[in-house]
Structure 1
Amino acid sequence: MCNFVLLWQFVFLNQLKLNFCHQSISCSMKNTIVPFLHQTCRNAIYPRSNGVKRFTVPDNLVNWMEKYTEYKPEFYESSSLVGAPYADPAIDDTNFHPIWNSIDGKIDRTSFHGEYEIRDKYPLNVAGRTGVAGRGLLGRWGVNHAADPIVTKWKRSNDGTIVKHTTSGRNIVQMVAIQRRDTLEWAIPGGMVDAGEKATATLKREFIEEAMNSNKVQEIDRFFEKNGTEIYSGYVDDPRNTDNAWIETTAFNFHDDTGDTLKDIKFEAGDDAGSVRWLDLDRNIELYANHHDIVSKVAERLNAHW
């Protein structure tokens, strides 16, 4: 009887230990791993790199916790970063002492997904392997923070009536979209947060630069002063991401419910955009990176057609 009790206690305590370890690992993974599998940044060729080919990363080996002994990605860093005021120095620069996972002076090096790992001086992408090492086209090692303003209104007929979709019966919402010059894809007119800049300031600045290209911005100033609604904050599946540098964004929706504020605003594509227009939102539209997923949250919030 005594031996049976001792055996039972041994089994119970070890099972408790295993459960605790499993929970600890799960919590750690949850805090550092993006809750979706990135795809766009695992394409064949890294953009604007003169042919740098990404090392193949199967879906089951994206996670850094999975052993991948054959993994030997090419190191790539654009020459345009050398001496650029927005860029970090080389990782081995003796004067470069970044404070990872923290507010480092004027630079926010924190991730929305928790603490990321530093391995051999290099930060590891919170979403896993990408097939290219280094920082590619991105200025910062680790997190590169962006901000995306999603400016919307209801689609209206000539008499001002809100147009409903013939299938869903819901109101059709439109978004100010830009066509990127590099990929020709339609996108949210956002951009990178400057050092020391708040994301809320970036939202307005980038919208004016990319969608207006004009000094007549008083109406937009007033429009953006009305607090927008935060839609998303987190990882962006951007083709520029690498193993050691990636983009995370804060997306806000600024909705003109009556249509009066934006009806007389003339939009004009800025230097980084090929064109700009009002785009009807629908689940079948193709957008840059994972902008499709972000925009779907706007449609959901407004109870609009999707």
Structure 2
Amino acid sequence: MTSLIAAVSWSLHLVLFVLGLITATSSEMIAAIVRPGIFRHVMCRNNLYPRSGVLRYPVPDELVYWSEDYGEYCPPFYTAPHINGQVWADAPLPSETFKPQWNQLDGNVNRVSYHGAYHIKDGLPRNPIGRTGISGRGLLGRWGPNHAADPIVTRWKRNDSGGMVSDSKTGKNILQMVAIQRQDNKLWAIPGGMVDPGENVSVTLKREFTEEALNFTDKGLMVEEFFKSGGVQVYSGYVDDFRNTDNAWIETMALNFHDQDGTKVGQLNLTAGDDAMNVRWTDMDGSLKLHANHADMVKEVAIRLNAHW
């Protein structure tokens, strides 16, 4: 009943905001109106933190947002031991020698969120979407936003004669995407990865696709030309990743690279590499189960190309 009341209250709050009767200042307003449905905050709550014995503090749906009073909230602090000391990671905590410049480009480290300025609480960034049941950095290298890039590489499904295959119910052509099976949670996902400090997102997109889905370089020129043609951005923002904490979270930029006639990367033999267990061309439809909120991003591609979903 509490969840129902909270949901009704939130719906009314959103309607009033849209009508201009109230002013939005909290991150939940961003989550609700920028891209409804894509900001699911589920994977990073109410479970055992990955690769650890640390159990997240319970966070009910109605108490996710920081604006909701949760006086007894007491999340455990956890940063994976192997993270500290890594050259690609921040120091354990801000100090006299480590003074991060929050909400801006800090040297070559991008600490800017796609959702605008995040709050700093007790000297540390606060997750812009809400509570996760655990503080610290967990498995993530950076305090605050950890930026990733996800290339959604697609082609039309074709029969042996080369004709496009359509769905018998919707009548729309079926899209296929390159999906990898992750090593860490065994889920299928977009073959993306983290953006290195100072690296252009376009470089990350090509690098991660090559490393995780091809694992070879003899077709490097073809891949180079394919990605050089430019992708279409379908999403930029928070990812409902199981590694997120109250103080560190993943944000991504997802771009669609579509091989319209299937003669470019659509012809390549995929080979799992890097952190991938398996890789394959996967039919895209509404039943597709993917890591984090990748399915929401993929759905945006299907809508844009008027494909079956």
Aligned residue for 1:87? 89
Give the C-alpha shift of residue 44 in structure 1: 1.2
Distance across 2 between alignment mates of 1:264 and 1:211: 13
Contact kept? 1:178, 1:189, Cα under 8 Å: yes
Tell me, in whole angstroms, the C-alpha distance in 1 between the residues paired with 2:137 and 2:107. 21
Q: Distance in 1 between matches of 2:29 and 2:114?
A: 9
Counterpart in the other structure of 2:258: 255
Aligned to 2:36: none
Residue pairs, 1:195-214, within 5 angstroms: 195-214=197-216
TM-score by length of 2: 0.89
Cα 1:30–1:122, aligned 2, differ >3 Å: closer, same or farther?
closer
Please give the per-residue CA displacement for 1:14-38, whole angstroms capped at 9, x wherever unaligned.
xxxxx9xxx7973312587433341
In the aligned structure 1, how far is the partner of 2:217 from the partner of 2:156?
Answer: 26
Report matched runs for 1:1-306 at 5 Å: 26-29=23-26, 33-35=30-32, 36-49=39-52, 51-216=53-218, 217-306=220-309
User: Which of structure 1's runs of 4+ aligned residues deviate more than 4 A?
Assistant: 30-33
CA offsets, 1:152-186, max 9 Å, x none?
00000000000000111000000000000111110
| Structure 2 unaligned residues grouped into runs of 5+ | 1-15, 33-38
| Letter matched to residue 240 of structure 1 | R
Question: Does the residue aligned with 2:206 lie in a helix, a strand or coil?
Answer: helix
Verify the 8 A CA contact 1:212 1:268 in the aligned structure 2. Answer: yes
Runs of at least 5 residues in structure 1 that lack an aligned partner in the other structure: 1-18
What SS does the corresponding residue of 2:44 show, helix, strand or coil? helix
Letter in 2 for 1:250: M
Distance in 2 between residues matched to 1:79 and 1:70, nearest whole Å: 27
CA contact (8 A) 2:27 2:129 kept: no
Structure 1 residues 151-160 or 88-97, which shifts more?
88-97
How far apart are 1:264 and its partner, in Å? 3.3
In structure 2, the residue matched to 1:12 is none
DSSP 3-state at the match of 2:26 = helix
- Give me the CA root mean square deviation: 1.8
How many residue pairs get matched? 286
Partner deviation per Cα, 1:242-269 (whole Å, 9 max, x = no partner): 0000000000000000011124312111
Q: Which residue of 1 aligns with 2:11?
A: none
**Cα separation, 1, equivalents of 2:21 and 2:116:** 15
Contact 1:193–1:199, Cα closer than 8 Å, also in 2: yes
Distance 1:285 1:68, change over 3 A: same
Select between 75-84 and 258-267 the one with higher mean Cα deviation.
258-267
Provide the rounded CA distance (Å) in 1 between the counterparts of 2:30 and 2:234: 20
Alignment check: 8 A CA contact 1:43 1:239 kept: no
CA distance in 1, matches of 2:275, 2:89: 19
Relative to the length of structure 1, the TM-score reads: 0.90
Q: Is the 8 A contact 1:236 1:290 kept in 2?
A: yes
